[in-house]
Amino acid sequence: MAPQDRFVSETTFRIRYAETDAMGITHHSNYIVFFEEARSHYSRVRGADYADFERSGHWLTVAEVHARYLAPTHYAQQVTARCWIEELRSRGMTFGYEIVDAASGQVCVTGLSKHVCINHAGQVTRIPEDWLAAMRAGVPD
């Protein structure tokens, strides 16, 4: 369940036909992409665009991803991808996710992803201060 004590972003979109598989449902790998899109949206609505983050010479590389599948989704279904910060540290962070049916609110998939900040030389480094501040504003003290 999405937490109540912190900022939770929401972005809604439809399942594409190309995202379905021969079971007639959304292929499970696509939710990993939806998670990514959800955290892109999170940083955008917090005024800390990830495209700028990259242009500043950093990457928030993916160290770990986890997804739990509770209910399938189907072509053309509107889903809402919720995203929040689970944990924030100076050199990395963990996002939490929930993909829900946009109409009923039924939770279909939950997940989390762990990230490490690296520079374009591949070295682990501190998250830039302004970006970190924007993220910090979304979590409880």
Binding stretches for a second copy (CB under 8 A): 13-14, 16-18, 20-25, 27-30, 32-33, 36-37, 40, 44, 49-51, 54, 59, 61-69, 74-76
CB of 8 to a second copy, least distance (A): 19
| Choice between 6 and 45, CB closer to a second copy | 45
Closest CB 99 distance from a second copy, rounded Å? 14
Among 60, 50, 120, smallest CA distance to 88 is for: 60
The nearest distance, CB 4 to a second copy, in angstroms, is 25
139 exposed, middle or buried (CB, 10 Å; 0-12, 13-18, 19+)?
middle
Considering the complex, state which of residue 8 and residue 65 has its C-beta at the smaller distance from a second copy: 65
Task: Give the residue from 49, 51, 65 showing the smallest Cα distance to 114.
Answer: 65
Residue 15 and residue 76 in contact, taking contact as beta carbons nearer than 8 Å = yes
Please state, in angstroms and rounded to a whole number, the distance separating the CA atoms of residues 29 and 11: 19
Minimum CB distance to a second copy smaller for 64 or for 87: 64
